[in-house]
Structure 1
């Protein structure tokens, strides 16, 4: 596996160096380093309380670290005020857990929110047309545009949140547990949609998940948070060679073996179809 600190990538859209996050006397991250490569889907895993969401919030500027440096799309965002971050914020989209939709707005109106915030000069008709396109791009039917969040299933709420995350044509897409709470069929569809969007739009995806199927199916690399740092980054085959207790238990436990066997069967089946 690559030591991120020894192999800087000048084209990397996200570079985190020496990150420290504290809440009172509790230290979540202590010297965390991470490089996210352009146009990859990076899965981020770790035990509960290891700070996966805190890391994401630090990268998007919602959490001010105690120390360290974060560069996003070539700009250092740590230590900068909100006004100076606005330019780079237009270039990413975020899907929070549960979708985080505004309950009093329709799906279409939810998607219009970032357009109104960052591009107020856009006329109402064009803004509605952009929102319509993003809703369809997320995999929702057109009639979902006029529905309120309370009228949507869990999977539809996730897709509505995804449509809003795509509103500004982002280069970076942040997904926090996007398949949590979805049934296996819905989760698999969302995974396929994520991969298709990444390939079609050239996105870089930062994906927090506990879903082993997601890791095997769509992630190019996986970063593991433990001991307040990123302890390993690599492909799943590379991680399977790592002799760390948490990584071994996570990927070689019953669920890990089950996800690996399922993935291997799919790969074998696909190869047989080619022949």
Structure 2
């Protein structure tokens, strides 16, 4: 794997297109409820794209559609230039080993240690890797995620909430992905822990050249590390732009979200950081 002298197959075939994720005309319905109606979205290579929207707007459903866990009623999803919605299982596997996913809460296997959790995707996609090397890779990814080395042998029940998220991140990085999906990574963390996770995300994105799809409610995260933000409202993506430009958008939800009391507080924090008034 990259960074420790080994490489997964096809690791050097990095995606060179402008948009590693392209969603076109997406429709998702659950019974009589329509969550997405003709939703379009393009994710630029190398960016951190924040995804926001009100409760029930379908942020996680969109992510699940992109990674093939949700079968849309209509539309198309292309990842690395290949259609996910029409791919046969073998073709889909050839794409899935090029992304990593951190689900809400970490979604760790409770009966496995942190190291064993990180080894799961390695066993699934590259069973030919010998156990000793697989353990070395797991230890490396655990340290990369900001956890102490002894965390590799701990079980999820022995970890704090923040450590569980980092363990989930280590597993998401196991296959040296080009594309990283993060679903509410700072939810439930205190402000210091959330800021530390944001810094780690940015460092990994810059160091590894990742494209990051980041679902969040955290306004500080949007201001601090996101290059652009996609806003889901009215069953579609109504805008994709910088936070500064979105704040000028004449849409009730956008105005309340970015210019409400919490939005103004996040802006003030961002301004203080840019002036060096806070560490």
What TM-score results when the alignment is normalised by the length of structure 1?
0.94
**Partners in 2 of 1:220 and 1:32 — Cα distance?**
21
Q: How many residues align?
A: 264
Q: Which residue of 2 aligns with 1:240?
A: 247
Q: What's the counterpart of residue 91 of structure 1?
A: 98
SS at match of 1:63: coil
What's the secondary structure of 1:49's corresponding residue?
A: coil
Whole-Å separation in 2 of the counterparts to 1:238 and 1:14: 23
Task: Say which of 169, 173, 176 aligns to 2:176.
Answer: 169
Superposed displacement of residue 198, structure 1: 0.1
Give 1 or 2: higher helix fraction: 1
1:132 aligned to 128, 133, 139, which one? 139
Q: Distance in 1 between matches of 2:66 and 2:150?
A: 35
Shift of 1:228: 0.2
Give the whole-Å Cα distance in 1 for the aligned partners of 2:86 and 2:249: 35
- The equivalent residue for 1:116 is 123
Deviation at 1:84, TM superposition (A): 2.1
CA separation in 1, counterparts of 2:43 and 2:251? Answer: 22
Unpaired runs of 5+ in structure 2?
A: 1-15
> CA offset at residue 122 of structure 1?
0.2
Match of 1:158 among 155, 160, 165: 165
- 2:236 corresponding residue in structure 1: 229
1:267 equivalent in structure 2 = 274
SS of aligned partner of 2:249: coil
Query: 1: CA distance between counterparts of 2:185 and 2:147?
Result: 15
1:254 maps onto 2:279 in alignment: no
Distance of 2:91 and 2:162 partners within structure 1? 35
Question: Could you tell me the TM-score, scaled by structure 2's length?
Answer: 0.93
Q: Report if the CA contact (8 A) 2:17-2:45 is conserved.
A: no
SS of 1:34 mapped into structure 2: strand
Give the 4+ runs in structure 1 shifted more than 6 A: none
Deviation readout 1:141-197 (Å, 9 max, x if unpaired): 000000000000000000000000000000000000000000110000000000000
Secondary structure of 2:29's counterpart equals strand
1:24 and 2:46 matched: no
RMSD: 1.4
Residue 10 of structure 1: how far off its partner (Å) = 5.0
Partner of 2:204: 197
> How far apart are 1:25 and its partner, in Å?
1.1
Which structure 1 segments of 5+ residues have no match? 1-8
Q: What residue is the counterpart of 1:49 in the other structure?
A: 56
In the TM superposition, 1:55-94 aligns within 5 A as 55-94=62-101
Question: Who is 1:141 aligned against?
Answer: 148
String of CA shifts for 1:25-53, please: whole Å, max 9, x gaps. Answer: 11100000000000000000000000000
